[in-house]
Amino acid sequence: MVANAPVDVGLSVADITNELQTFRRWVGAVADGISPNDVMRDVAFGPQAMMFPATTKLAVAYLLLPLGTATVERSFSTLNRIACAERNSLNAEHQDCLMRISAEGPETLSKELLDSAVRSFKLRRV
C-alpha cells in the first residue's frame, strides 16, 4: 500500500462528513470523563464500529501509532552494542541475527545446530 494512498471505506465524501458530525455529537454525549484512548478503543472494537465505519478505520490507525520513540532508541542502542569496533567484520545477516537474539532472546538450539555453528566459526578463524 502506498503511504499517501486514500483508504477506500466505501462511502462518499458527504457520507464521511455526516458520519464525522454524528461521531462528534456521540463523543460529546458519552465521553464525559472517558479518556480519548478509551473512546477510540470503543469506536475501533465496540458496537460503534458498525455505526461509524470510516471513523473506525481512523480509530484503529490512532491506536496503532507508537506513543514514543523508546523502541527505536532501544534498537539503535542494541545495534551500537553489537556493531562495535571488535565486531566490525560482521555482515548484515549476522548483525540481523544478533539483533533478533538481543530483542527476542535466543532460540533453543539443538546440539547438532550448535555444533555446526561452532565448526563454522572455527573454520573461518583459521
CA angle, 1 then 58 then 38, to 5°: 140
CA contacts within 13 A on the Cβ side of 125 = 6
Chain segment 66-88, per-residue pLDDT in tens: 777 887 888 888 888 888 777 77
Identify whether the C-beta of residue 88 lies closer than 8 Å to the C-beta of residue 96: no
Hey, what's the cell of 25?
Answer: 455529537
- pLDDT confidence tier of residue 123, bands split at 50, 70 and 90: low
Q: Where are the domains of the chain?
A: 13-64, 70-125
Residue 99 confidence (pLDDT) above 60? yes
Selection from 119, 117, 122, 121 nearest residue 107 by Cα = 117
